[in-house]
Structure 1
Amino acid sequence: MRTYRWSLALSLAAVLALGVVPARADHLPYHDPTLPVPTRVDDLLSRMTLDEKIGQMTQAERGSVTNADITGFRLGSLLSGGGSAPSPNNATSWANMYDGFQNAALATPLGIPLIYGSDAVHGHNNVVGATIFPHNIGLGATRDPALAQSIGRAVAEEVAGTGVDWNFAPCLCVARNDRWGRTYESFGEKPELPTQMASIISGLQPLVLATAKHYVGDGGTTNGTDQGNTQLTEAELRAVHLPPFQEAIRRNVGSVMISYSSWNGTKLHGHQYLITTVLKGELGFTGFVVSDWNGIDQIDGAPGFTAAEVRAAVNAGIDMVMVPTAWRAFISLLRTEVQAGRVTMARIDDANRRILTKKFELGLFERPLTDRTLTPTVGNAAHRALARQAVAKSQVVLKNAGNVLPLARENNRIFVAGKSADNIGYQSGGWTISWQGGSGAITPGTTILQGIRNTVAPSTVVSYNQSGAGIDSSYRVAVAVVGETPYAEGAGDRPGALGLDTADLNVINTLRASGVPVVVVLVSGRPLDIASQLPNWAGLVAAWLPGTEGQGVADVLFNVVAPTGKLPVTWMSSASQQPINDGDGKTPLFPYGFGLSYSTATRSAYSQVQAETFDAQSGTQTEATTDTGGGQNVGWIAPGDWLAYTNVDFGSVSAVSVLTRIASGATASGTIQYRLDSATGPIIASVPVSNTGGWQSWTTATTTLSASATGVHTVYLTFTGTGGDFTNINWFLFQR
């Protein structure tokens, strides 16, 4: 927490020169930390003028104020916009800047401290040298709420170590259309996943104030348009987009940020029903509501703040208004609205009570300045090790033909290519040092190429050329690290094609022309349209936007860490399917929850494969079987579910039939489809299933293969039919 020391032996001038503030000696109730927070808030409110209250509701950008402005206008909050930083941009400069601003606030008659906000959305990403963690889509792939909470704590330490006490994170949006440029800020497409990963809030707080954003529905806009219109019934909005915010409130999140988007044509920034009636009333949110950057200026659709917009936003329930440069105009307009009775003093006092409560709870009145003991945590080894762990857990192996992965560390020849292989900026994505992100060594870290080189033994040769030039057949494997270049918010919307760019495709084609198997490592903020190219790749790994610790990608490529990541979103078969989400009936390239693991050896197709030994699945459950020697079976199988078994070796001569041990007590019937290499891959057998007399009444179905299968494949069992669960499976066995 923030601490400061002062000595009675020091003169006031000396104390101020050190950047610290002596304790007040007036013994007013709001200065007494032994009193309950509500008592302190009431006492302070009773002493505040209207201008002081409006000042608390105003948030300005650091670049648009002076210390004199802070003191004179009684400003309650500042922020750093994306890329807004002191010079030089390092942790100490940030702490010094913060303390200077804070001393200006403490110089006001009532000495109310500032609360300072920053978008530390994947680490303290505005600060050069900070640890940059995977963006949320990668964390969603880990399916690890405890890891998210640990990351929250690490980020909080780095944020607090620069003085900043308020983080505009986490984003709890439920991204439903991959065309949206903020898809990577979402933990996943189903509300359960962002709800689980809201655990990050408990890591951030109480060291810094967390923010649940963007309330509500911004991930569900029509066509995935940023700041667009979410056209849903209230029941749909509540079912899909509200649950993560309910969890955030359960975790006592300190603030909620309103979305730029609209709900059925009405801008959220002026939506009294959703902000006051639902959020504050029904859900019981007791923190304060903050607008987004100039968000209230969008209420009437015309540029420039108006009195009507200020009135609508504050009366809707927004407590603090982010007006980065137009803060003077906001203060004047709100004062006029209050004096005219169009905004009541009760509403002003409610907003102030919420803001001041959080300032007291954070300890800002007792410890207003930077805790310099936390400054060395910015980018420290422990946080980078945690980020490396998160990167490894976020990797999703999507294809592994012929066991090309994991790569051998010894006696190997590896060729690495692609624009994202040796580029910290590209692998970190948007919201990294600058708002839209950048290219190159924008902050310290380990690139994916460096991670590969760090991992291999001296006996392995690693060659690199960004375009792929120089590869030949002497290499055993090629790794193409390709994908999207950085973007943030609207700049990242992709209403057209969603595939790789021409340069990336040329790199991959150059590698393939050598005859060497190609593993594609995809660095992107969302699934990309790669179905037509995928058959030509030996392997595919979704690396998402891993941040500064690219070593974590190499850890999985070489099986230093076994792959466990699962897709937090459904992977499209083509861009024309957008929006595509789990359960919507569309056939994906890879379903939600998919992710391969490595096997130490191939398993023969001609030995019984126990159903419960799947490497990935969706929708099924395991249970004990009554079949003699059967162990467990997989049950509760319904249409749309699937099972995946990696490294199944058919040998050089194709099987001719498959035996499937099944049982069913259902009135409905269905079909088991055996497919190769993806849930939508070629069907080699279709097994009809009907009632066998009971869920543990086992029979063995023999089915002739409709297509040949040789070599090593991932075998998928997909299920079609009508109604609910219709079969149990104990084992399967291919026969020549």
Structure 2
Amino acid sequence: MILKNIRVPLVGILAFCVITAAAATRTEEKKPPRHGIKQPHPMHTPSKEYILYKDWRQPVEARVEDLLKRMTLAEKIGQMTQIDRVNITSQIMKDYMIGSLLSGGGSVPKAHATPKDWVDMVNDFQKGSLQTRLGIPMLYSIDAVHGHNNVYKATIFPHNVGLGATRDPELVKRIGAATALETVATGIPYAFAPCIAVCRDPRWGRCYESYSEDHTIVQQMTDIIYGLQGQPPSNYPKEYPYMEKGKVLGCAKHFVGDGGTVNGINENNTIIDWNGLLNIHMPAYLDSIRKGVSTIMISYSSWNGVKMHANRDLIINYLKGALKFQGFVISDWQGIDRITSPPNANYTYSVEASVNAGIDMIMVPYDYKGFISNLTLLVNKQVVPMSRIDDAVRRILRVKFIMGLFEKPLYDYSLADKVGNQEHRELAREAVRKSLVLLKNGKQPNSPLIPLPKNTTRILVAGKHANDLGSQCGGWTIEWQGMSGNNLTKGMFKGTTILGAISSTVNPRTEIIYSENPSTELINNNKFDYAIVVVGEPPFAETNGDSLNLTIPEPGPSIIKNVCGSVKCVVVVVAGRPLVVEPFLQDMDALVAAWLPGSEGHGVTDVLFGDYGFTGKLARTWFKNVNQLPMNVGDQKYDPLFPFDFGLTTNPIPKDY
């Protein structure tokens, strides 16, 4: 049937449109928030006055310029200021128009804080920012360097020194994605990762934060940026910051040369010519920028005597000029304080030198009032030009617009169950088994000890590190320096120790005797089929980890001598770098570098007992003695105990072995 010449009154059409629009609005309101982020704050709802920077449909650069021209000097300097959450309130955020907050190592809402606790805290601070005149949302950041490592029950992945041994950029990308998801679940959109230092001397206390002594491996591992931020489409502008919804901002650090200081001393001087800096320490920054990294952190160290936090040639002229980096540059924790010696000898000069050098966001965790007043004075006196302030704020706003922070500044609890979930723990376990390097397997050719048999009568497990989740994870775990032991009341997380993994892997009828430091009587009075000795370093971070001798702390060496002299033994070294093992090597039947494996001890037993084969390769040269250091692959004098890229392989064995 054909209907024609039907007339509908205009008022009826209008009524139909209104009803349809209302229904569509109600349908839209029922949709759940995406990516664990709440819907737009009321400040973003349409108003009679059109404000360009609040219109998400406008180009990013147009929004940046519109907002920038509306800002006062106080509002601009507020955007350049980043402070720690300690003793900060939403009212302070409003009064000082602070642009960014962070949680330093151990700076948490409360002990055993849940994802909900984190979200509530971040949202409370954010509400203070949204109540300012222009309603510019603040950016919350955290050191999520091997998982969301400040957070109770989060997944703790191996530190970078182990990930470099995997030679697996795709694995690292997946770790970045898992870390981003757990970080977003707590309401935090910015992670200070990855560290792309090229550690050239293992005496450096941050060497475990480096993927390798070889820049080509570090370059490959910058794929973690794709996991953290998402991967820009092929037509995306080069050198432009990028972040997908539901991801986090990344931060390539520490620019530049932090892994090359004299004698590996933290925050020291890197002495190298321009070509050396370009060829060793700079390449990973080029890769990071090309992959869309949004922020870059400046190093505490100096280059040929010039503090990096005051190095205008490298920050403004090279990083922002030659490399065309369009994201923002951030200082390290109280980094500008170190410009003078002693620190803060002339704080006004430190503010002047750092901002004029090109640093856009200044991490002043405590004395934000002093920073703000000093920078205000310097601008008013024209010591720091307004053009430099505008460049800094323009970059910060650009990143905030790109990440969608203006549209969805508040988070909800919808992703809380992603923190420490089983899928991420399985990924961490995979990373552990791929990172382990088998350095020795048998005292005689064709007499391997590994894979270890599961069906046996009695085994000895020795060494504190076998039953120490904190030492297994290392620094930057719950606390800045990390913590030893398994005491959950101190805020530790869930995970599996190596001892626990051994117990659940061997045959239930196998007797396991564990001793931190077994006596001669214990060894002689029991017939052990073999022993697993787990020794290594205590947790540490940064300067506290600097070491000129790199020896295994006692009683580790004594345990090796006592046990391996009497029982077939495999020694597992849990440490953030190669240590002195040559004096004990002849006593060992097998030697495994486990690095700092994180929360999943089962990854160690997966390869020890042959469920998977050893595949890891050294991304660091293993020296004979510290007098050889620094010694890196390609050096003219190269005489290592185990060379770069060394690693024995094994094949998986049948399950019933």
The TM tier, using the shorter chain, reads 0.7 to 0.9
Counterpart among 293, 296, 305 of residue 265 in structure 1 = 305
Q: How far apart, in 2, do the equivalents of 1:130 and 1:296 lie?
A: 32
Query: 2: CA distance between counterparts of 1:185 and 1:7?
Result: 48
Partner residue, 2:14: none
Q: Is the 8 A contact 2:82 2:101 kept in 1?
A: yes
Aligned position for 1:559: 610
**1:380 corresponds to:** 421
Match of 2:170 in 1: 146
In the alignment, the residues of structure 2 paired with residue 567 and residue 440 of structure 1 have an alpha-carbon distance, to the nearest angstrom, of 28
1:21 aligns with 2:41: yes
Unaligned runs of 5+ in 1: 10-17, 602-736
Answering whether residue 580 of structure 2 is matched by residue 521 of structure 1, we say no
Aligned position for 1:218? 258
What one-letter code is carried by the residue in structure 1 that aligns with 2:60?
V
Q: What CA distance in whole angstroms lies between the structure 1 residues aligned with 2:412 and 2:395?
A: 25
1:410 to 455, 459, 464: 455
**Are the counterparts in 1 of residues 39 and 408 from structure 2 also a CA contact under 8 Å?**
no
Question: Equivalent residue of 1:342, what SS?
Answer: coil
Offset of 1:284 from its aligned partner?
1.3
Q: 1:574 maps to what in 2?
A: 625
Residue 507 (structure 2) aligns with: 457
Q: Give, in whole Å, the separation in 2 of the partners of 1:358 and 1:490.
A: 32
Match 2:83 to one of 50, 56, 60: 60
C-alpha deviation, 1:199, in angstroms: 0.4
Matched, 1:251 2:274: no
Is 2:157 the counterpart of 1:133? yes
Structure 2: how far apart are the matches of 1:593 and 1:91? 40
- State the AA in 2 paired with 1:505: P
Match for 1:422: what amino acid? N
CA distance in 1, matches of 2:456, 2:272: 57
Contact 1:59 1:79 in 2 (8 A): yes
Check whether the contact 2:612–2:651 (CA below 8 A) recurs between aligned residues: no
Whether the aligned pair in 1 keeps the contact of 2:115 and 2:413 (CA below 8 Å) is no
Task: Please give the per-residue CA displacement for 1:127-180, whole angstroms capped at 9, x wherever unaligned.
Answer: 111000000000000000000000000000011111111101100000000100
- Report how far residue 430 of structure 1 moved: 0.3
> What are the superposed Cα offsets for residues 389-417 of structure 1, whole Å, 9 maximum, x if unpaired?
00010000000012110111123432111
Identity rate, percent: 50
Q: Does 1:344 align with 2:380?
A: no
| Paired amino acid for 1:527 | P
**Does the residue aligned with 1:536 lie in a helix, a strand or coil?**
coil
SS in 2 for 1:95: helix
**Distance in 1, Cα, partners of 2:140 & 2:455:** 50
Which residue of 100, 119, 123 maps to 1:99? 123
TM-score (norm: length of structure 2): 0.87
Could you tell me how far apart the structure 1 residues matched to 2:342 and 2:512 are?
56
Query: What does 1:473-488 align with in structure 2 at a 5 Å threshold?
Result: 474-488=527-541
Whole-Å Cα distance in 2 between the matches of residues 6 and 380 of structure 1? 34
Structure 1 residues 231-380: aligned runs within 5 Å: 231-304=271-344, 306-380=347-421
1:302, distance to aligned residue in structure 2 (A)? 2.8
> What is the CA deviation profile of residues 284-311 of structure 1, one whole-angstrom value per residue up to 9, with x for unaligned ones?
1110000001111111223326222111
SS at 1:403 equivalent: coil
* Deviation, structure 1 residue 502: 2.3
Report the 3-state secondary structure (helix = DSSP H, G, I; strand = E; otherwise coil) of the residue aligned with 2:140: strand
Q: CA RMSD in A?
A: 1.8
Equivalent position amino acid for 1:507 in 2:
I
Higher relative contact order (CA 8 A, sep 6+): 2
Deviations along 1:71-129, one digit per CA (max 9) or x if unpaired, are 00000000011111011423221111111111111111111111111110001101111
**SS of residue matched to 1:117:** strand
Name the counterpart of 1:435.
480
Contact 1:524-1:544 within 8 A present in 2 as well: yes
Alignment of 1:33-48 (within 5 A): 33-48=56-71
Shift in Å, 1:64: 3.6
Q: Secondary structure at the match of 1:471?
A: helix
- Cα displacement (A) at 1:474: 1.6
| Structure with the largest fraction of helix | 2
Paired residue for 1:108, among 129, 132, 149?
132
Q: Alpha-carbon deviation of 1:25?
A: 3.2
Give 1:461 shift.
2.4
* Structure 1 stretch displaced more, 468-477 or 243-252: 468-477
Q: CA deviation at 1:372?
A: 2.3
1:460 is displaced (CA, Å) by 2.4
Stretch deviating more after TM superposition (334-343 or 294-303): 294-303
Distance in 2 separating the partners of 1:128 and 1:340: 47
Q: Is the 8 A contact 2:164 2:218 kept in 1?
A: yes
Which of residues 586, 591, 600 in structure 2 aligns to 1:535?
586
**2:65 and 2:533 mapped to 1: Cα distance?**
61
Provide the rounded CA distance (Å) in 2 between the counterparts of 1:6 and 1:574: 71
Aligned to 2:4: none
Amino acid in the other structure paired with 2:45? R
Q: Distance in 1 between matches of 2:264 and 2:392?
A: 33
Question: Contact 2:465 / 2:472 at 8 angstroms: preserved in 1?
Answer: yes
Query: In structure 1, what is the equivalent of residue 545 of structure 2?
Result: 492
Distance (whole Å) between structure 1 residues aligned to residue 129 and residue 459 of structure 2: 58
Query: How far 1:20 sits from its partner (Å)?
Result: 8.3
The one-letter code of the counterpart of 1:233 is D
**Greater fraction strand:** 1
CA distances 1:521-547 after superposition (whole Å, capped 9, x unpaired): 000000001111111100000000000
Q: Give the Cα–Cα distance (whole angstroms) in 1 for the partners of residues 644 and 304 of structure 2.
A: 28
Instruction: Tell me the equivalent position of 1:446.
Output: 496
Q: How does 1:654-733 map to 2 (within 5 A)?
A: none
Residue 30 to residue 600, structure 1, CA distance change in 2 (3 Å): closer
Tell me the distance in 1 between the aligned counterparts of 2:338 and 2:455. 59
CA drift of 1:439 comes to 1.1
TM-score by length of 1: 0.78
Deviations 1:298-325 (A, max 9, x none): 1122332622211111111100000001
Give 3-state SS (helix, strand or coil) of 1:480's partner: strand
Aligned partners of 1:466, 1:94: CA distance in 2, in Å? 37
Distance 1:106 1:6, change over 3 A: farther
SS of the residue aligned with 2:253? strand
Q: d(CA) in 2 for partners of 1:111 and 1:337?
A: 26
Give the drift of 1:468: 2.1
SS in 1 for 2:57: coil
Do the aligned residues in 1 keep the contact of 2:200 with 2:630 (CA within 8 Å)?
yes
1:580 Cα offset (Å):
1.2
Q: Any idea what SS the aligned residue of 1:434 has?
A: coil
Specify the SS of the correspondent of 1:502: coil
Structure 1 position 463, deviation (Å): 1.9
Q: Is the 8 A contact 1:21 1:103 kept in 2?
A: no
Partner Cα separation in structure 2 for residue 186 and residue 431 of structure 1: 14
